[in-house]
Amino acid sequence: MRYLYYGLFVIGAYLVLAMVPLFVLLVGPDIPGRGFWRELSVGLGFAGLSMMGLQFFLTGRFQVVTSPYGIDVVYHFHRAISLLAFFFLLLHPAILLLSAPATLGLLNPVSAPEWITAGSIALFAFALIVISSLYRLQLGLGYECWRMIHGYVAVAAVALSLGHMIGVNYYLQVSMKRGLWIAITITWVLALLYVRLVKPLLMRRKPYTIEAVIPERCSSWTLLLRPEGHAGMEFKPGQFVWLTIGKSPFTIREHPFSFSSSALHPEKLAFTIKELGDFTATIGSVTPGTRAYIDGPYGSFTPDRHQFSGYVFIAGGVGITPMMSILRTFADRHELRPLLLFYGSKEWEEVTFREELELLQSQLNLKVVHVLTEPPAGWTGEQGYIDAEVMGRHLPEKRMECEYFVCGPQPMQEGIRSALEQLGVPSEQVQSESFNFV
């Protein structure tokens, strides 16, 4: 319940911070001759810029913001609210041009004042961020290239927008309004400095060494990390980190990966990574002894947040990774509650951690149900996809007293949620993890 109340508080704080600049516009004397449409245009511009500035906090991985929901939810909210903010910013010049066509001449950068040109460039910069995020794969942008555009162009866009607003100066003549925007700008700068300077410095003080690179089934590799000069990182089973390998912690070349090791061993961290993208394609060639840095832990995908009489895990492919962290932790804790794992794979030989899962069934009150889309000859287990029919054959009688954890490709997660809904499982008892942050 405390997560619910705290989550509502965070939402309320965001709304207040986004709306404060609009309310402050009402302070002070009215400027005559402006008209409704111009005032509406300005209000939308202020709201859009305020919302864009707040994105520095949403993407800064601040625990105070992410803890009630999980960072993947916060990132998806960031994406949705950024589109709304960009729509507001687009409406700002659109309404001006429609209500006063004479202002069209201000779009000419040769004759327009510098502060007008700054606003135009800022709008194009925001458009570049939105387009590169929505169509990253279609444009062939690598993750690091996208992050570079997303980060540096966003800073430039916000700075140019502030320059535009200061140049217009219609609403900054009152000291209170000027002071407010100075304070807002300072908080944005501080958030940026913390993310880009302070946090990397803290990570640099706690480096790790890659002790071993272990091949797993299905083109996956487990990296074992040993802390250098410190005790390691405490985390909850099922959480994840941003991992930087062989680079400075100030680099943008960092990627999110779930722990696959037990939370009871912070001195020996493991991450199991599948060869999927441009970065992970070479993960198996990482040399033991390479320096690494970790930012985390993050995520609410953990059974430690709530207490249930049992747990059901549903994994597809490399989505087994956080489940292994949970199961290994439960084994170290000598967990007695009933556990059920549905594990979807293509072929039997591609089932990662197959032997260890067999061993864990003897150490825990655990039942593993393998579901194969291409089973071998003579296979007597479940085949096809994990759906309501498959789960209905294995779920315990007290299924409503269990918490459910789903991790895998996005289409699979959507299908599983729909299937659990058919089976009558309350949505608030279903947790999912997705690393599709872009």
Summarize the confidence of residues 75-89 as an average pLDDT: 88
Residue 24 counted as domain residue: yes
Q: Is the dihedral of CA 235, 238, 244, 250 positive or negative?
A: negative
> At 245, which CATH number?
2.40.30.10
Summarize the confidence of residues 376-387 as an average pLDDT: 92
State the pTM of this model.
0.82
Instruction: Give the pLDDT confidence score for residue 307 in this predicted structure.
Output: 87
Summarize the confidence of residues 140-158 as an average pLDDT: 83
DSSP tag of 407: E
Residue 7 has pLDDT above 70, yes or no: no
Instruction: Give the pLDDT confidence score for residue 150 in this predicted structure.
Output: 83
Residue 4 has pLDDT above 70, yes or no: no
- CA 310, distance to chain mean position in Å, is 28
Instruction: Give the pLDDT confidence score for residue 100 in this predicted structure.
Output: 78
Instruction: Give the pLDDT confidence score for residue 271 in this predicted structure.
Output: 96
Residue 438 counted as domain residue: no
Residue 152 has pLDDT above 90, yes or no: no
Range of the domain at 44: 2-201
> At 406, which CATH number?
3.40.50.80
Residue 303 counted as domain residue: no
> At 65, which CATH number?
1.20.120
Domains held by the chain: number: 3
Residue percentage of the chain with pLDDT more than 90 = 44
Angle between helices 175-193 and 36-58 (to 10 degrees): 30
Mean pLDDT check: name the lowest of 140-149, 171-180, 203-212, 276-285.
171-180
Residue 38 has pLDDT above 90, yes or no: no
Residue 207 has pLDDT above 80, yes or no: yes
Instruction: Give the pLDDT confidence score for residue 2 in this predicted structure.
Output: 53
Summarize the confidence of residues 242-249 as an average pLDDT: 86
Please check whether residues 362 and 317 belong to one and the same domain.
yes
What are the CB-based long-range contacts (under 8 Å, 24+) for 358-365? Answer: 360/327, 360/328, 360/331, 363/331, 364/327, 364/330, 364/331, 364/335, 364/339, 365/335, 365/336, 365/337, 365/338, 365/339
Residue 6 has pLDDT above 70, yes or no: no
Residue 304 counted as domain residue: no
Contact 205, 250 (CB under 8 A): no
Mean pLDDT of the chain: 86
**pLDDT-based confidence at residue 75 (cuts at 50, 70, 90):** confident
